Chains A and B, each alone.
Chain A
């Protein structure tokens, strides 16, 4: 039986309550909107990329605790990284929450993002955790099309 405390880890509860980088940027270079129509999660993500380095990230929107905490932790995790590094992190995160083949043997390798390791026991919530990352991917490719998890 899946345990609720594995899903709603203290880190997630705390980031849901006080999300980091919950703001709009003055000079964004990239942005994308994401939504999860089934549960009504919405995120608007802005990036300030200098060269190939993500200098600043801000997000706005509303959603469940998992989607909101995931966006918050993602913004901190990708700050200062190259777009390639950010995409690699997305892949590792994605595999961790879906139980995919490239999931890190020890989630702790993902730092604070390891808080989402319990999501894989709640298949209905995987898309909540992934929404911010899909939106980041869209922003980096910046074709401006809103992305949807459906």
Chain B
């Protein structure tokens, strides 16, 4: 009998310890989510009634479909570029060339800097009076006018890469550094040159790390809000579209905004599930 009460008490303590976390989860995530879902099915500006109009309106509008496509192009483009930047960079950082501590610090900079500051700096750097264009005008022949980068799609992708590549890079680097050096030595002893070791031994082994990092970069780029808000110009991905619905019209279009937000959340979850499934299938255990 005392044993029963003891386990009962222990369960109660565990629940009590978990209570703040669960309260935070339900109060600040699940309930607001449900509220957004309910709101997205209400007719605009009304408290009662159910309708699908908010969804059909956005999804049948060519602009709406372009916004969804744009969000995917931006997120996938920046993820691909981040992987292309991160893999050579983490291989170099692992080699511990002189000054590698500084470069490691540079990798972390975009993580702790507010996204707006990064975007502001990049706007100044790529702008018509920035150093990038000054360099092109001065040293590259056949460039007689500033190359437009700001407020274009490739400029926006570059901003995303600057801000979100550390997710891929840090994960790849930690996968590389936890690799057993004996495996590479075994490859070299078996007669593979350093390129073959990299291609057939190291890369397959760190693939799970690269994939995990690219998922994080993708999620950050898909949900990016502050950067496209100031650096996007006419290119408005989904989060900016949501904010536009509640900031520009008076009274605010809360139902339309909620519908777009829900479409966005569903797209992200579905895409992530597919991506992880694909990654798991192509790379066995990960």
Indicate, yes or no, whether A interacts with B: no
By a beta-carbon cutoff of 8 Å, the part of chain A in contact with chain B is: none
By a beta-carbon cutoff of 8 Å, the part of chain B in contact with chain A is none
